[in-house]
Structures are given as structure tokens and as C-alpha cells.
Amino acid sequence: MAYDKFSVINTPAVPLPIENVDTDQIIPARFLKAVERKGFGDNLFRDWRYEKDGTPKADFPLNNPKYSGKILVGGKNFGSGSSREHAAWAIYDYGFRVVVSSFFADIFKGNALNNGLLPVVVTPEFLQKIFDAIEKDATTAFEVDLEKQTFTITATGESAEFEINPYKKHCLQNGLDDIDYLVAMKDEIAAFEG
């Protein structure tokens, strides 16, 4: 799946200070019936975001007009549960490009990276600083620099480095995906099969 190339992002962030945000919350199963990859952002966090009759729940961060930006900040163990890639699609489709947490579930992390969504792991202390900064000023900006692998709280200049596998970094920076790579290897794969 083609996605935008990633370099530097500088925007405010939306806080979601809840732990173990599982993929059933990110996108409930009843929205997985599509056969195309379209419009999943509308149902992102559906049951936390809307009442049953479709009215937005005012206290949910995505419905709070004071929050905006391309960065979603979640509590520890973000993305646990099902392997549904729809979770990463929904977050991307909604307009986020970065998810920050102190801990991600493995499959979610892989799915995010395969879809141009950058998972940034920071320490629990730094995560708290990010939440605090947003609490103080909802419009405060953060800078995510993929080349330098840094996440910076612009207001205070405090910065954290994050890890990313060099191969995945290269893919994100160039909007490439693994399938191109694998298809080019077909002869090698056939030889392996023997």
C-alpha cells in the first residue's frame, strides 16, 4: 500500500492517557466488513467516541476541539489484541502519522510500520512529560524527526531519541513497502524451495 513519505512532522498532539488500548477499541469488529481500504478513520475509536445514536461524546479527546495534530499519544501497551491491520489504517486514515507510547503490542507496531504510521516508543517518564505538556497547553507542538530519530517537546526543547530498525526507516522515508522487496526476490525464494 502506498503511503506518504515521512521526514519531519511538527504539530500538536492528541492525548489518550489510557493503558492497554486494544484494537477492538481502536476499530470495533463490526466495522471490519469492508472489502476495500476506505473510510476507516470515521470509525476510529467508535464506541469511545460516539454514543449509540451517533452523537459525539464530548469528553473523548478526539471530540474535544482544543486538541489537534498528527500525533496520537497513548498509554502503555498500545494496540494490544487482534492482528487487524484495520486498526493502523483507521489511525492513519483519521490523519495521524505518529503514535507515541511507552510500549506497543508487537503486531500493531508491525502493522503501523507497514502503513506509514510511525510508532514512537519513549520512556514512561518522557511519556508523562508529553501528557503534562499537552495538559498545560493543548496547542503546544511536538517535532518528530525520523532522520535524527528524535521526538521533541518544542516548548521546553526536551528531546527523546527513539529506535527504529534501519530497514524500516528507509522504507518509511521513501514510501516503500516490503512487497516490492519480496517480489524482486522471487528467484531466490524459488531456489530456497529447492
Partner 1 sequence: MEAKTLFDKIWDAHVVKKVEGGPNVLYIDRHLIHEVTSPVAFLGLKNRGLKVFRPDKTTATPDHNVPTQDQHLSIKDELSRNQVEKLKQNCAEHGIVYHDLQSEGHGIVHIIGPEMGLTQPGMTIVCGDSHTSTHGAFGAIAFGIGTSEVEMVFASQCIMQPKPKKMRITVNGELSKGVTAKDIALYIISKISTSGGTGHFIEYAGSAITGLSMEGRMTLCNLSIESGARGGMIAPDETTFAYVKGRQFAPKGEEWDNAVAKWKELKSDDGAVFDTEYVYDAADIEPMITYGTNPGMGVGVTQSIPTSEGMEGTDKTTYIKSLQYMGYHEGDSMKGKPVDYVFLGSCTNGRIEDFRAFAEFVKGKQKAPGVDAWLVPGSKRVESQIREEGLTEILEAAGFELRQPGCSACLAMNEDKIPEGKYAVSTTNRNFEGRQGPGSRTMLASPLTAAAAAVTGVVTDPREMM
- Site for partner 1, rule CB under 8 A: 1, 17-20, 22, 24-25, 28-30, 32-37, 47, 52, 75-77, 80-86, 88, 103, 105-107, 110-111, 114-115, 128, 165-168, 177-179, 181-183, 185-186, 188-189, 192-193
2 or 65: CB nearest partner 1: 2
Least distance (Å) between residue 112 CB and partner 1? 9
Least distance (Å) between residue 44 CB and partner 1? 14
87 conformational bin, left if phi > 0, alpha if psi -120 to 50, beta if neither: alpha
47 or 143: CB nearest partner 1: 47
The DSSP code for 55 is: P
11 or 117: CB nearest partner 1: 117
Q: Kindly provide the b/e burial profile for residues 154-169, where b requires at least 16 CB atoms within 10 angstroms of the residue's own CB.
A: eeeeeebebebeeebb
Least distance (Å) between residue 108 CB and partner 1? 9
Sheet containing strand 8-11, edge to edge, reads: 8-11, 142-145, 150-153, 158-161
25 conformational bin, left if phi > 0, alpha if psi -120 to 50, beta if neither: alpha
- Asked if residues 100 and 151 have their Cβ atoms less than 8 Å apart, the reply is yes
Contacts of 125 (CB under 8 A, 6+ apart): none
Least distance (Å) between residue 31 CB and partner 1? 9
55 or 165: CB nearest partner 1: 165
Contacts of 107 (CB under 8 A, 6+ apart): 79, 83
65 or 194: CB nearest partner 1: 194
Least distance (Å) between residue 138 CB and partner 1? 19
